[in-house]
Structures are given as structure tokens and as C-alpha cells.
Chains A and B, each alone.
Chain A
């Protein structure tokens, strides 16, 4: 009877497997604003328009996070990327990061289907963090518009995502 139970458990264990990795990415110690959107707040506290900033570099971080016991136990529950972000911004001479992209991808260890039946077989996730390192351009260096806008719609186009005032005015 005991042999039968053990055989059944072994059959179940060998017919299933899982491998992977998971983690929380931390940016708690970054010294510069990091944004998933195209904007951050400028030094004056207002939302920075594209004309008031210049791209000085690219943020590229690649890392792996591992897991055990069929991906149930993360080996790095929290991955702090603050130092890498700070270093890359300072090397590029930037002041912020915009258009941040976070990518999670499979890694080769997860493809070992037969070995993933073993609980101690590690799995992992490849993580890519990319963005644009920017620097604020002083207002006096922003080229002035060449011609006076003739319509409300043209005046409102200073921010590319603003709705032109002409569409909001009452008939």
C-alpha cells in the first residue's frame, strides 16, 4: 500500500513541473525623478514640455531574478535598481529619466521541462529597464516661436498632449 502511494506521488510529481522567477523592482533611493510617461516636473515645479528638455543618454539595465520550488520561492524578493539608475544618469550628465519601459522575459532555465519537475531546479526571469535620460533646457535657450499664432488651436500646441483651447470654448 505504501509502495502504491509513493508510486502514485512520484507519477504526479514527474508529470508536472514549473520554473520561473519573480521580484519587486525598487527605485526607493533614486536621486532623480524617474517617470514611465514622457514627462517629469521641471525645476520650476511645472510639467516639463518636450521643447524644454533634451535627451542626453539612454538608460539600459538588464538583470535576472531567480526562483526555487517551482517558482514559489523568489531568491530576490526585492531588487533595488536605484544605484544603477543614479550611476547612469550621472554618467550621462542628466537630471531625470522619462519613457521608462519595464520588460519581463523568459530565460533559458525555464525551458528545461524535465528538470523543472525537481523542486530545487531554479527558474528565472530576465528583466530589462530602459528609458531616456534627459536634461532640462533653460527657458532662455528655448527658441522663440517664429510667428505669432493666428488661431487659438495653434497657441495651444505648446504642449503636444494639450487639447487646443478652441475645442473647449463655448459656441
Chain B
């Protein structure tokens, strides 16, 4: 098997090919939201309308969520005699926006009546290359914890929600005379 033979112009061509293959990816973005979580997921110190900043001292379960969008490309070349074969590969990794919903619910252990506090929102985007490989990545990272319990409106609207299973049975059951 002939060893690959690369000159400086071919190396520059490889880097250029990798870079060009990533050009459409420069508009890639990473988005974080929690639009399916039924409780407040707060990023500031104020918890309720008309309220003031609250120093949250709850120590509930913590979460660390990374919403990523990454594209990588690499190129390699092999020459055998008068034939040069260049192979360029690209891969994409996308973390769906639903990961925030899923991980917040996991941290709250399925509880639907607890506040969620986001303590840190970190954003980054960078692109780079090394020899004949290139990458572009964008990330939004959320770190926080589950807070205190809150009152959900469905508990007040539905009187049956507060009834116990025993109370559902009639007080004086009708006895079949037969």
C-alpha cells in the first residue's frame, strides 16, 4: 500500500476543502428554551409578579444541561502513481431543544410543582482547524437547581384532586336486599 505523499500546496488544498465544506455551517446556532416545562424556570432573583429579589437558599437536585450544535469536517489524500484520491468527510451533532425539558424534569424527579432556578447561563461559539480537520461549534449551557414547591392552579380548580380515594365511596352504600 503506497504511503500518502503530501506537498505544501496539497495540504493547503486540504485545509481549504475542509474550511469550504464548513462554510454553510457558519449560520448554525444553538438554542435553549424550556417551553414544555409546566413550572417557572427562572433565570433571575425575582420569583413572582410584584415580588422582590429573593435569595434562594434551597438545595434541591442540580442539573447541568448543554445544548450543542457541532459540525466537523476532515480531509485526507492518498496518491498512488498518477492517481490521487481525496476523501472529505463531515459530521454533524445537534442536541435538540427538548433536552432542556427532559433534563429539568429528570432533576425534579417528575415533580410538577417545584420551582426551577437557573444559576448560570453560558454561551459560546468557536470555529477552528488543525492540519486537515476543521470544526464549528455553538453551545448554550444551563446550570441550576430545583427549588421550593409551588401551588399549581389545577389543584384549586379541580375539587376532586384533593379528595382521598376513601372519600369517593358513598357514605351509605345501598345494600342489595336480595
Contacts and interface: CB of A to CB of B under 8 A. Distances in A.
Contact of A41 (B11, B49, B127, B165): B49
Interface string B1-35: 00000000001000100010001011111111111
Interface string B37-48: 111111111111
B39 to A, nearest CB: 6
B122 A24 contact: yes
Given A45-B48, A100-B33, A106 B23 contact: no
Nearest to A52: B153
Interface in B119-168: 120-131, 134, 136, 138-140, 142, 150-154, 156-158, 160-161, 165, 168
Contact of A33 (B15, B35, B48): B48
B140 A104 contact: yes
Interface of B (DSSP majority class): mixed
Interface of A (DSSP majority class): mixed
A39 B153 CA distance: 11
Interface in A143-158: 152, 155-156, 158
A18 B126 contact: yes
Interface residues of B, number: 67
Contacts, number: 242
Nearest to A159: B154
Interface in A54-90: 65, 67, 70-71, 82, 85
Contact of A40 (B40, B136, B152): B40
Interface of B: 11, 15, 19, 23, 25-51, 53, 100, 112, 115-116, 118, 120-131, 134, 136, 138-140, 142, 150-154, 156-158, 160-161, 165, 168
19 contacts: A15-B15, A22-B125, A24-B120, A37-B39, A37-B116, A41-B49, A46-B150, A49-B153, A82-B44, A103-B31, A104-B29, A106-B28, A113-B15, A113-B19, A159-B152, A161-B36, A161-B38, A162-B158, A170-B165
